[in-house]
Structure 1
Amino acid sequence: MIYLAIVTLIIWAGILIDTLVGFRKFPKLEEYRNARSFDEDEPLVSVIIAARDEGSGVLDSIASQLKQSYRNIEWILVNDRSSDDTGSCFDQLAEQDPRVRAVHLTDLPAGWLGKNHALHRGVQKASGDYLVFADADVYFKPHTVSGAMAYMADTDAAHVTMTPEMTVKTFWTQAFVHFFLFGFSYYKRPWKANDDNSKHALGIGAFNLIRRDAYDTIGTHEAIRMRPDDDLMLGLKVKEAGLRQRVIEGTGGLAVEWYPSLKEAVKGLEKNTFAGLHYSWFMVLFALAGVFISQVFPFIALFITTGVTQGLYSAVIVILLVIYVRTAFHPWPKVLKTFLVFPFSAVLFMFTILRSVLLTVIRGGIVWRGTFYPLKELKKQQKE
């Protein structure tokens, strides 16, 4: 067991160094709060949002977005076959602000996921040379778009995505969010997306800014029409096309309530977990085993080992804590509280993976935004 402890410690020590060095170079939106992206006329930016059965909650979210300091901007709000008052809310916003246009969809063509199709249709109605794909529950600060555009101009990027501040209401949901961010950081290594020589790529649904010509180059949403992880795939397509991609930390400028409860968070990950593991049973088993051995067992080992082995696993837990605090994007006293239940969060995450995969296989597909999509069709584009 001592050899397993040594290997685990070496791996996490390497991840710790990579994380600390990576985040030290990670740019922040706040650094571009007062920056101007263009000396002369600002190019038109089209913010495209697709929503289905979001209800009146979209009003507050879009209201925050409409307060942008960036002047030349429009909103294309796509109502994707909603059965509630989402469409009337979009119409209300369009009546109140001339920069807003509401688009209503009543059907979904075969071979498309609803959100991807809605965003694709939104682009067809947009006039901007720059496109922002965002969600209907995301809150902007006045400098969000101007800061992102300034960062894009500063780095000559074709695509800029932004990490949002995740707001949660309950302790266990917060613990799950912190653990998710922890895992996402070491798995995706978001800072590597800023390395033009790296294959690491990223796209975040809360905010994807892309030049229209780059969007056309990657094949538009047509190229990812059956991907439930559309935001990540958008970023991957950018990197695969050899275009420059940049990621920026949006704390203080971009916020989203990830899920209102722990139950909703577990349920919400149903749609894209298997896709994120490439629909591979090997990857599923590898992920489950990896999380248990590296993130659950060290805590168990404290009680079943002694001497040097126990000391090594203690060092592993300290490293886990440092990485956890660094990746949470929240004040450290709050993060320390959720770290106390770290192993339970890890077990819950394992359950979420297994639940998502089994439900997808048993159902023969996923249910997303009220529509069923066959697994066979989802896997088909995976191979394209």
Structure 2
Amino acid sequence: MMFLPWMVTLGLTVLLAIAITNHRRFPRLHPVAAEDAPLSTLPKVSVLIPARNEAAHIGDALEDLTQQAFPGLEILVLDDHSEDATAEIVCAFMRRAPEVRLLCGKALPAGWTGKNWACAQLAAAATGDILLFADADVRWRPGALRSVLHAMEMLDADLLTVWPTQITVTWMERLTVPLMAMAVMAYLPIWLAHTFYHPLAAAANGQCMAFRRSAYEVIGGHAAVRAAIVEDVRLAQKIKEAGLHLRMADGSGLVICRMYRGAREALDGYTKNIFAGHGNRLSLLALSTLFHWSLFLAPWLWLGLGRSWPLPGWPLWPLALGFAGVAVRAITAHATRQRVGDAVLLPVSVLIFTWIAGRALWQQLRYGGVRWKGRLIRER
């Protein structure tokens, strides 16, 4: 029992060091002046958007993209058997924006997840030198696309994954969504992600991934990760395995997204990803849960139990550890334009993700996979 405070102290010290370093050094998108990226030098870009029941979002995304004032821009949307007005909205844009084109998704083959199959079809139809895969709910501020390409060039990226600035509204969104940025900003040093060619030092965000076409083809595209639920991370790992350059950048308010709307979407979305994000291994998910309880809950439990818990240093040591955990969350929130004050609720977020892990495990046991957008997804 005596070693636990020291282990927690060491863990939080490491996370604080990574968070502070990443806050200073993490690449960020910046507005790019026309003279810094002349239109004549820009590559041909295909923006590829898989869309299943995205009528609420696809119009705004296309409005943003068609206003980017970009030559040779190709915007392909694949309607993945939507049951709403997704296709009709895209068709309306096609009549006034020749760069927009609608593809009708083919039947889902065995062994593929829906998103991976949609992205593979989009890539096969694209003609650009840069293949930029984007979710339908991503919004693009003026000049954002030019900024992505400029960052790609400056960072010498074969794959540039952009972490959009996340918009959170409801309390469940605020308590869950920012932890995605925390996991990157506090757990993975940016220098390691960019310079160490091991697949474990890879992360990516499928909301915005820009590939050089040659790199995408070398790794086998989405066919190489056809059954993956967290295909973004798997593609980033493939890039590293091939000796190519993975680069990451923060959207910095130019690329933004409200990825979930309300408690149900947030819970379902993270339930879909959490088990796959731990390699579909119960042991890793259990260790991760224990790790987060130890670092972000145990200090407050120790503080509350007081002298009845036979550990030295009460109350200053547990209080310092509790605030250190909050500081990790606050630093990453500031770095990614989230609400810094929500950091004090980190213990609540940890409990919510414990519940999400339990939901994911129950769905795996009950259905043999996880449910998402009316489909049962099994990763093989």
TM-score by length of 1: 0.91
Shift of 1:102: 0.5
Equivalent in the alignment of 1:215: 216
8 Å contact from structure 2 (residues 272, 372) kept in 1: yes
- Which among 343, 346, 349 is matched to residue 353 of structure 2? 349
Q: Alpha-carbon deviations, 1:336-357, whole Å to 9, x = none?
A: 2x23322111111111112112
- Give distance in 2, aligned partners of 1:63 and 1:39: 20
Shift of 1:201: 1.3
8 Å contact from structure 1 (residues 251, 329) kept in 2: no
Flag the 1:67–1:196 CA change in 2: closer, same or farther, 3 A.
farther
Flag the 1:56–1:139 CA change in 2: closer, same or farther, 3 A.
same
- Give distance in 2, aligned partners of 1:309 and 1:267: 39
Shift of 1:182: 2.4
What's the % identity of the aligned pairs? 27
Shift of 1:210: 0.5
Name whichever of 23-32 and 356-365 sits farther off: 23-32
TM-score by length of 2: 0.92
- Give distance in 1, aligned partners of 2:6 and 2:376: 46
8 Å contact from structure 1 (residues 196, 244) kept in 2: no
- Give distance in 2, aligned partners of 1:253 and 1:305: 47
- Give distance in 2, aligned partners of 1:166 and 1:179: 11
Name whichever of 201-210 and 63-72 sits farther off: 63-72
Secondary structure, counterpart of 1:313 in structure 2 = helix
Equivalent in the alignment of 2:287: 286
Flag the 1:33–1:361 CA change in 2: closer, same or farther, 3 A.
farther
8 Å contact from structure 1 (residues 53, 82) kept in 2: yes
Structure 2 unaligned segments of length 5 or more: list them: none
- Give distance in 2, aligned partners of 1:333 and 1:312: 28
Equivalent in the alignment of 2:278: 277
Q: Alpha-carbon deviations, 1:247-301, whole Å to 9, x = none?
A: 1111221111121112220111222211111111211211121111111111111
8 Å contact from structure 1 (residues 30, 252) kept in 2: no
Task: Give the residue type in structure 2 aligned to 1:316.
Answer: L
8 Å contact from structure 2 (residues 252, 337) kept in 1: no
Q: RMSD over aligned Cα, in angstroms?
A: 2.2
1:260-339 aligned at under 5 Å gives the runs 260-306=261-307, 308-329=313-334, 334-336=339-341, 338-339=342-343
Equivalent in the alignment of 1:259: 260
- Give distance in 2, aligned partners of 1:128 and 1:342: 43
Equivalent in the alignment of 1:150: 150
Flag the 1:240–1:151 CA change in 2: closer, same or farther, 3 A.
same
Equivalent in the alignment of 2:36: 36
Task: Give the residue type in structure 1 aligned to 2:306.
Answer: T
Shift of 1:313: 1.7
Flag the 1:13–1:330 CA change in 2: closer, same or farther, 3 A.
closer
Aligned length: 375
Flag the 1:136–1:16 CA change in 2: closer, same or farther, 3 A.
same
Shift of 1:37: 4.1
Flag the 1:291–1:105 CA change in 2: closer, same or farther, 3 A.
same
Equivalent in the alignment of 1:18: 18
8 Å contact from structure 1 (residues 73, 99) kept in 2: yes
Equivalent in the alignment of 2:202: 201
Task: Give the residue type in structure 2 aligned to 1:278.
Answer: G
Equivalent in the alignment of 2:82: 82
1:173-188 aligned at under 5 Å gives the runs 173-188=173-188
- Give distance in 2, aligned partners of 1:35 and 1:296: 51
Q: Alpha-carbon deviations, 1:42-99, whole Å to 9, x = none?
A: 2210000001111243101221122214333110110011111111111111122000
Equivalent in the alignment of 1:382: none
Equivalent in the alignment of 1:117: 117
1:351-370 aligned at under 5 Å gives the runs 351-370=355-374
- Give distance in 1, aligned partners of 2:285 and 2:80: 32
8 Å contact from structure 1 (residues 162, 207) kept in 2: yes
Shift of 1:41: 3.6
1:235-246 aligned at under 5 Å gives the runs 235-246=236-247
Secondary structure, counterpart of 1:305 in structure 2 = helix
- Give distance in 1, aligned partners of 2:336 and 2:192: 24
8 Å contact from structure 2 (residues 18, 187) kept in 1: no
